[in-house]
Chain A
Amino acid sequence: MSQIPDSKHMTATLGTRILGSVAVAAVLLMTLLGLVVSPEDLVQGHAVRMLYLHVPSIWIAYAAFVLTAASSVLFLIRSRSRADGGRHHDRLAGSAAEVGVLFAGITLVTGMLWGRVTWGTYWQWDARLTTTVLLFVTYLGYLALRRLPADPIVRGRRSAVMALISFVNVPIVHFSVDWWRTLHQKASLSVGRRPEITGEMYWTLLYSTLTVTVVASWLIVHRYRVIRLEELRDEEALNALIASRLREDDVGN
């Protein structure tokens, strides 16, 4: 009756192995492009290379939080009508949030290092930096909420509401550089605006974004499967306990 695969194949399938191989190769090429092929910046020199990790990381964090919010809405809609309580959407929301928090963290760390070289300081409480750290902290809170002991459906609903509240900050982070005066520069690339980055730097940035997207997708798939395995483990443990008590009752009778 066990649905848990053997330990060698816990979360991997042929598809994820291919995706993982592509991700590793893409990261190697991204490193080569970012550190060797793309040129120094006219003003920032080599410090500009932080761009190729910093900017894609926050874009992927945004995308992951969009996925968390959309999955949370679907979970809230379907949790009453579906036999499994729509837990697929809850798992997807959780796994996307974990990856979003990881990349938001990478954004903060790379931003601090970049800021030290260019601005002359690791940190300033300007609107972009403040809202970004708030985004990171609220989604950490979301992940903590997911760990609270409760009925899975009840916990899923609470988490979904928290995910929607946390998502309000995503557009605030993005537009903070336009709404307020910030030390942080405006968006590097925007829809409908001529890019301020040219040549190899522009293409390296786009390629890095694609690479980070592949890595994030790979991580989300694995995290989703880990969450599912945790659920199966808990269900198996409960089933085993029930079976053992039933046996004891049979012996007693």
Chain B
Amino acid sequence: MDLSPRHELGEPDELRRKVHRNRRWAVLAVTALLIAAAAFVTAQGLRNATLFFRNVDEAVEQRLELGDRRFRLQGRVVPSSVRSESGVTTFQIIHGCVVASVRHVADPPELFTSPWIPVVLEGGWTSGQVRTVAGADTHYFLSDRMLVKHTNEYASANDQRISEEPPHDFLDDCPFDVPAAKS
């Protein structure tokens, strides 16, 4: 019994082989595309993911080594330090009881106005005398991109009013005072 397809072709298996060949090529092409996409994603991930940002204390400690290199800086915004003028927002961020002064030259995201919100800034160190809540500093962070890093804490807006107080234990070991409200 002959079970092969019957078509008007020179070779009886030709059409079946052609269909299979075309389908195999299509699936191989899709698979190759997916592998290429996975490789691209992995490469991007390995480059950026493992050290997505430096905390303020680390970035200040590595200031010489970083030079004017561009990197991401993370810390909580000191609410009393936020000023905005002519499209430039200046403020201070703190992490590990180390403070950095920031000059941000783009529009901040909406949640930036929340007190003590953690932010990730893209930019680099720039020379310049500044004064922070921790004292005088020789550099500030010039930033042109800000990402708000919200936490995994969720609380009903009906139950609580937004507090100007820092998160629990956050400033306990700091050898300086941080004013709660704008002076």
Contacts and interface: CB of A to CB of B under 8 A. Distances in A.
B111 A118 contact: yes
Nearest to B4: A245
A134 B42 contact: yes
Given A43-B117, A180-B52, A198 B147 contact: no
Interface residues of B, number: 48
B155 A124 contact: no
Given A134-B41, A141-B34, A185 B160 contact: no
A83 B29 CA distance: 34
Contact of B34 (A41, A118, A140, A183): A140
B52 A185 contact: no
B45 A200 contact: no
A39 B156 contact: yes
Interface string B6-30: 0000000000000010011001001
Interface stretch (A10-18, A66-74, A144-152, A211-219): A144-152
Given A43-B114, A125-B44, A130-B41, A181 B53 contact: yes
Contacts of A246: 1
A210 interface: no
B152 A196 contact: yes
A200 B1 contact: no
B20 A130 contact: no
B149 A119 contact: yes
Contacts of B117: 43
Contacts of A41: 154-157
Contacts of B70: none
The 8 closest A-B pairs by CB, nearest first: A120-B109, A130-B45, A127-B49, A39-B156, A40-B157, A185-B152, A125-B48, A196-B153
